[in-house]
A and B are shown apart, each in its own frame.
Chain A
Amino acid sequence: MKVTVKLFASLRKDRFAVDDFDYQEGAKVGHILASLNIPEEAAAIIFINGRHGEPDSPLKDGDLLAIFPPVGGG
């Protein structure tokens, strides 16, 4: 299945801003994070098609996955 992954802020460094990937049917967000070498704690905010998701959220063909890192400085 095809999933579009959009990375935000510093997650783009040495990766990409937006790209399409083929994953096995039933893949979860956690699989995609692992395949992109993004530790779960570095994916503070996960949105699937504009709705809040979690690492164990399943994905389906055509989904847009957006991932934001934690920003905590003042």
Chain B
Amino acid sequence: MESLNKYLLARAENGLINLSVQMRAVQNFGFPFSAIEDAILELDLLPARYQRNQRSLSCGQQLSLFRSKVAVIGCGGLGGYIVEELARVGVGNITVVDPDTFEEHNLNRQLFSKLDNLGQPKVAVAADRILEINPAVTIVPVHDAFTGRNGSAFIEKVDVVADALDSIHRRLELAEVCEKCGIPLVHGSVGGWYGQVTTQFPGEYTLQKIYSRHDDERGIEKDLGNLSFVVPIIASIEVAEIVKILLGEGSTLRGKMLSLNFLDVEFTEITF
């Protein structure tokens, strides 16, 4: 490791390590890309891919993100954008859980869907995509449905869980499993021109309050569908919440719900 460190320090330019240096280090030292990334950040250097993060995130914070683990439950509209943004900002370990394959009706909004991957498992497509963008990220694709029975195995070792599900029943099961495992949960959901986000820590039960009287599996999206421009905004707010939880920075939507109405451009925060 000492010779790797010397190698990296000798090739740093203004505190940055270029991708080509990182790739040569993988070849020369036989370590995986993720180990080289960790070594760079440990030296208080920055992989050049993150240089535009720099004024907002320090090297130390970048290292914290890289060593963090996030589970994204659902890899459809919200999940696709969440996985992409987590990988680009530099979260190092992402588990993504979804039982579905891409279908034509996903093309209006789901980031990873395209003509030539219709019929393929969403999580496998997501894993390939992330490898193309940021090979330092360890992505664990789980081609299975998250349920109250099997769910804890998928999330027990993660720092934060992102709700990107499309079923209210499954969301409540997810909230229960997160409660049992003691893991914070960032919830987002969409329908038509509308969306909502909240963050809940164990013992807060915000999601259970939001859906306390709703027995149906689906909400307004059953009639209104989902629009391409609503999904990434809600996903992005979820990612901002996740990053703040991982870094212990800023204020979050704990105990609150942000309701977004893009038709009337009205954003409302309510406190539970």
Report which A residues bind B (CB closer than 8 A). Answer: 8-10, 12, 17, 40-41, 43-45, 47, 50, 52, 54-55, 66, 68-74
Q: Does the CB pair A68–B259 fall under 8 Å?
A: yes
Please judge, given known A-B contacts A9-B194, A66-B270, whether A74 and B219 are in contact too, CB under 8 Å: no
Q: Does the CB pair B219–A17 fall under 8 Å?
A: no
Give 18 new A-B contacts, CB below 8 A, not counting A10-B220, A74-B189.
A9-B220, A9-B259, A10-B193, A41-B214, A41-B216, A45-B210, A50-B270, A68-B196, A68-B270, A69-B191, A70-B211, A70-B216, A70-B220, A71-B191, A71-B220, A73-B77, A73-B189, A74-B79
Bound Cα distance A10, B163 (Å): 22
Q: Distance in Å from the Cβ of A13 to the closest Cβ of chain B?
A: 9
Bound Cα distance A70, B221 (Å): 9
> Which chain A residues lie closer than 8 Å to B209 at the CB level?
45, 52
- Those 10 A-B pairs whose CB atoms lie nearest each other, nearest first: A73-B221, A70-B219, A72-B219, A74-B166, A9-B194, A72-B168, A71-B191, A70-B214, A73-B190, A73-B191
Asked if B28 is an interface residue, CB under 8 A from chain A, the answer is: no
- Interface of chain B residues 161 through 199 with chain A (CB within 8 A): 163-168, 171, 188-196
Q: Does the CB pair A73–B166 fall under 8 Å?
A: yes
Complex A-B: 30 CB contacts under 8 Å = A8-B259, A8-B261, A9-B191, A9-B220, A9-B261, A10-B194, A12-B264, A40-B213, A41-B214, A44-B211, A45-B257, A50-B270, A50-B271, A54-B213, A68-B270, A69-B220, A70-B211, A70-B214, A71-B219, A71-B221, A72-B218, A72-B220, A73-B77, A73-B166, A73-B219, A73-B221, A73-B225, A74-B77, A74-B78, A74-B189
Bound Cα distance A43, B97 (Å): 30
Q: Does the CB pair B224–A10 fall under 8 Å?
A: yes
Q: Distance in Å from the Cβ of B217 to the closest Cβ of chain A?
A: 8
Q: Distance in Å from the Cβ of A9 to the closest Cβ of chain B?
A: 4
Q: Does the CB pair B165–A44 fall under 8 Å?
A: no
Q: Distance in Å from the Cβ of A52 to the closest Cβ of chain B?
A: 6
Within the complex, which residue of A10, A40, A70 is in contact with B168, where a contact is CB–CB below 8 Å? A70
Asked if B268 is an interface residue, CB under 8 A from chain A, the answer is: yes
Q: Which residue of B lies closest to A11 (CB)?
A: B220
Q: Distance in Å from the Cβ of B165 to the closest Cβ of chain A?
A: 5
Q: Which residue of B lies closest to A17 (CB)?
A: B264
Asked if B31 is an interface residue, CB under 8 A from chain A, the answer is: no
Q: Distance in Å from the Cβ of B120 to the closest Cβ of chain A?
A: 19
Asked if B229 is an interface residue, CB under 8 A from chain A, the answer is: no
Q: Does the CB pair B221–A72 fall under 8 Å?
A: yes
> Which chain A residues lie closer than 8 Å to B193 at the CB level?
9-10
Interface centre among A41, A44, A66, A70 (most CB of B within 10 A): A70
